[in-house]
Structures are given as structure tokens and as C-alpha cells.
Amino acid sequence: MPAYLITHPRDQKRDDLLIEDPALTLRFEAGWAILSDDHGACLAIPSGQGASIQRVDVQEPAPQEE
């Protein structure tokens, strides 16, 4: 399942954010990073803010054999 880790520059004193929603897609448009789902945009981050967005592939744990 893909997730997105959003980190901000240290001087902005904002918390990092991990978004784990398989329905979200990320696109870049007119200087904005936009996370959206079937209903539209959920989160938009301007490129001038200096945030970093990294896709993180979260793997489900393997089933334990008994």
C-alpha cells in the first residue's frame, strides 16, 4: 500500500505528516503538489513552501506460519 511522507524545512517548525490512504493520488500542477481522491483534492502544498514529499511503500507483514 503506498503512503506519502511530507516533511517540512526545520525552520518552519511544522510536524511531518504520513498519509496512508490507498485511494489518494499525487499530481503536480501549476506549482502545487496535490493529493486527491475520487471526490477531488484533499491536500494541496505550494512548491514555494519547501516541503518534501516522498512516496513510501508500506508492505503488509507476511502471515505467520503455525
pLDDT of residue 43: 87
Contact residues for 22 (Cβ-Cβ < 8 A; gap 6+): 1, 2
Higher pLDDT, 2 or 53: 53
pLDDT of residue 66: 67
Domain layout of the chain by residue ranges: 3-55
Identity of the highest mean pLDDT range in 4-8, 13-17, 31-35, 55-59 = 31-35
Q: Is the per-residue pLDDT at 32 higher than 90?
A: yes
- For 17, the grid coordinates are 505528516
Q: Could you tell me the pLDDT band of residue 1, with boundaries at 50, 70 and 90? A: low
